[in-house]
Amino acid sequence: MPLFGLRNRNNMVVAGRTILQPLPEKRNSDRHKQYAMELLTQMHRMKMNGRKFFSCGVIPFFCVQFIFASLGQCSDLSMLSLDELLNLSVVSAAKVPGKVMKTPAAITVITGEDLRRNGVRSIPEALRMVPGMHVYQIDANKWAVSARGFSSRFANKMLVMIDGRIVYSTLFSGVFWDVQDLMMEDIDRIEVIRGPGGTLWGANAVNGVINIITKDSADTQGGLVALRAQTGPDGEVSARYGGWLNDRTSYRVYGKFFDRASFENSAGDDANDQWHQGRGGFRMDMNVSATNQLTLQGDIYDGKSGESVRYVTSAKPFLIRASAETPVTGGNVLGRWNRVFSKRSEITLQAYYDHSERDEFFIDETLDTVDVDFQHRLDVVDSLEVLYGLGYRYTRSNTAGVEILPGMYTYALQPRISRNNLFSGFLQSRLRFAGDRGELTLGTKVEHNDYTGFEWQPNGRVLWSINKDHSLWAAVSRSVRTPSRLEHDADINVGSLVEPTQHGLNLFIRLMGNENLNVEKVYSYEAGYRGRMAKPLFVDATLYYNKYKKLITAIPTGSIFPEFSGGGGRLIYPLQVANGRDTETYGMELSCSWTPVDWWRLTGGYTWFQLNSLAVGNSLEGRQGFEEDGNAKHLFSLVSYLDLPHRMEVNTALYVVGALDAAHIGKHSRFDLNFSYRPMDTITIGAGVKNLFDDAHQEFGNTVNSLDGVLVSEIPRIFYAQLKILF
């Protein structure tokens, strides 16, 4: 598909893509060079504190663009055109392939090109580009990632998948992002849905779905070696090789290792959050016949994630700081079979096994998961598509509690071993009407889990295409979140950062789980618009309102009382996990993509978010680790892709994050710069900087009173260089 807006020149068309041929270079005048140097000098002198939006963010951003744009006006590389972006195939919204313009959901696609141009080396880092996503780095190896609020390290209202394999932990119903790593060059795209997805994907897909999809092995043939070095000092090396076993079966194998140094805390001390990990894996894709496709893939990993923690004792000095390294290891294997009976009918059967082990400072867990999923797509008539499926998941969680201080500071789950079964089924129909201009989607999912029994999650969506360039959509959904194992089985004594009383006794929290918990419920109302205002401009806007019922929190079960055992005295504050408060959230998400010329694309995003919470009694919500309202009300991003002559690229990204009032963190900005040069088809040289205009800043609240006790780090400026070789 040719890039739109191309001037008439001698281009080549290869495999349906237009490859731009370079125009003769235009020499910049001495005056132009002098002006560019003056701009660079002024930017160097500016004091960037991250709090002055226009002086510290947008103005430098466009200065950089102007300087590099003045160096050349065309490129011999090609970027995805707007037409290609709007026609990307996505599967997460409907479980069957569809186009972005025809999707009745708030969806954003992060392509492999986005990852490469931004120098992304972790999944959370990539998610910063998505409107509505709250991404805060806690330390060198931990992130708080959520959609539409409720941010914490273990945000429990997001469903995250890698090639259809669910990766959230049943312990917290959150994601350990330090082990969700991939070889970035193998990622085809990341589909991000903001809003409920429970009808198709089940419980915990309350506020969004993140589906990371890797490339078919047929698209990764030959060898690749990638090297990266960055300040820290840090190092990373990864390698991949793909080939053919026969004319129908392709494969690839990969290996990756990185060693990342620790950050510093706000006092300038070592945060002890170093991070190193090695992993390897394979993927095999087989075209058994014209109608049968088989995929088999797997990964293994091993490493350590460091951290600094604090906890409270009943004796002086009361506050103890410790450093720890968490050993992490695991592996998975997944198989998927797809059978096409006709254009009207196809089935997919997927099964996987996942094993993980973590030895945390406060708790150890070994988790085994077996999952089987079946679905059948059937076009009953030309205008009616029916999709249904069945699923089963078995999890076995084996935990070992920690007694940091005998009788005083304990962290355990009862029973130690928990086995859980989840049965599910879903049915969804999609009706096209008015000459395919309109689509009506209705469906529901029914699940049975061992904690709360049967749950149902209905959904209704409608899309109307005004014309080929403009569409409207709306949705009404009901989703649920089942209790995590921690909420169900907790038996925890933790300290509280409260000054000792006049009797010299410190306050300890005794938190107990609840076997009688109900699910959290959310009723969601969404409406959106997508359209091309002009040929080079695309706008995507979403409004939403969510009403949450019976959110799980912690409430007092009695009065504070003294206790004397284990070599000292303390005050005990008894709490129990329970369904408590109701909450409402609402907001707007706006994304714009503008391609003024074929060698420059700008993508901007803005998020407005509001949360209103009604706590029940003395609920612990928002104070002791349930920091669900610690989110920025305003988020802004601006990403630029600029192609220069001689196979050079300059890519920049600006992120502005509003204040986190609950954590007393002011608003901050981050500016990233990435440069790459491809001297030949098989070699790419790159360099860049993260957080260019700020030495370091804190992004998330200090979680000293949370259940994991992890201390946050200052996120530093990072310079890096990288080399990729194909063979």
What pLDDT is recorded for position 32? 42
Q: In this model, does residue 677 exceed pLDDT 90?
A: yes
Compute φ and ψ for 116, nearest 5 degrees. Answer: -65, -45
Q: For residues 262 and 387, give the distance between their C-alpha atoms in angstroms, rounded to a whole number.
A: 48
Domain assignment present for residue 55? The answer is: no
Cα angle at 434 between 431 and 437, to 5 degrees? 80
CATH number for the domain that contains residue 125: 2.40.170.20
CA distances from 485 to 40, 392, 537 (A): 54, 18, 47
What pLDDT is recorded for position 482? 94
Q: In this model, does residue 653 exceed pLDDT 80?
A: yes
pTM of this structure = 0.87
Q: Are strands 537-549 and 520-534 parallel, antiparallel or unpaired?
A: antiparallel
Q: In this model, does residue 184 exceed pLDDT 90?
A: yes
Judge whether 380 and 386 are in contact, CB under 8 Å: yes
What pLDDT is recorded for position 44? 46
Domain assignment present for residue 675? The answer is: yes
Q: In this model, does residue 405 exceed pLDDT 80?
A: no
* CB neighbours of residue 459 within 10 Å: 23
Q: Are strands 582-597 and 600-614 parallel, antiparallel or unpaired?
A: antiparallel
Provide the number of structural domains found in the chain.
1
Q: For residue 367, give the nearest of 577, 209, 167 by alpha carbon.
A: 167
Cα angle at 570 between 566 and 576, to 5 degrees? 100
Q: For residues 209 and 446, give the distance between their C-alpha atoms in angstroms, rounded to a whole number.
A: 18
112's tokens? 């492999």
Q: CB within 8 A of 279, min separation 6: which ones?
A: 181, 255, 256, 257, 299, 300, 301, 302, 303
Q: For residues 192 and 194, give the distance between their C-alpha atoms in angstroms, rounded to a whole number.
A: 6
Domain assignment present for residue 58? The answer is: no
Domain assignment present for residue 142? The answer is: yes
Q: What is the mean pLDDT of the chain?
A: 85
Q: For residues 315 and 298, give the distance between their C-alpha atoms in angstroms, rounded to a whole number.
A: 49
Based on the number of CB atoms within 10 Å of its own CB, is 556 exposed (0-12), middle (13-18) or buried (19 or more)?
A: middle
What pLDDT is recorded for position 98? 86
The gap between the terminal CA atoms of the chain, to the nearest Å, is: 27
Q: Per-residue pLDDT tens for 73-93?
A: 555 455 667 677 777 788 888
DSSP H or E stretch at residue 218: none
Q: For residues 391 and 424, give the distance between their C-alpha atoms in angstroms, rounded to a whole number.
A: 5
Q: For residue 325, give the nearest of 350, 301, 300, 306 by alpha carbon.
A: 306
User: Pseudo-torsion of CA 224, 225, 230, 235, nearest 10°?
Assistant: 130
Output 508 or 62, whichever has higher pLDDT: 508
Q: For residues 195 and 528, give the distance between their C-alpha atoms in angstroms, rounded to a whole number.
A: 12
Q: In this model, does residue 368 exceed pLDDT 80?
A: yes
Name the band, by pLDDT with cuts 50, 70 and 90, for residue 477. Answer: very high
Compute φ and ψ for 413, nearest 5 degrees. Answer: -120, 140
Q: For residues 231 and 274, give the distance between their C-alpha atoms in angstroms, rounded to a whole number.
A: 13
Domain assignment present for residue 217? The answer is: yes
What pLDDT is recorded for position 632? 92
Domain assignment present for residue 643? The answer is: yes
Q: Per-residue pLDDT tens for 210-262?
A: 999 999 999 999 999 999 999 988 999 999 999 999 999 999 999 999 999 99
Q: Distance of alpha carbon 649 from its chain centroid, rounded?
A: 26
Name the band, by pLDDT with cuts 50, 70 and 90, for residue 411. Answer: confident
- What does the pLDDT average to over 601-606? 96
| Domain assignment of residue 193, given as a range | 79-726
Judge whether 177 and 154 are in contact, CB under 8 Å: no
Judge whether 372 and 353 are in contact, CB under 8 Å: no
- What does the pLDDT average to over 261-290? 94
Q: For residues 189 and 167, give the distance between their C-alpha atoms in angstroms, rounded to a whole number.
A: 17
Q: For residues 606 and 699, give the distance between their C-alpha atoms in angstroms, rounded to a whole number.
A: 18
Could you tell me where the DSSP H helices lie in 206-314?
Answer: none
What pLDDT is recorded for position 631? 87
Q: For residues 551 and 256, give the distance between their C-alpha atoms in angstroms, rounded to a whole number.
A: 40
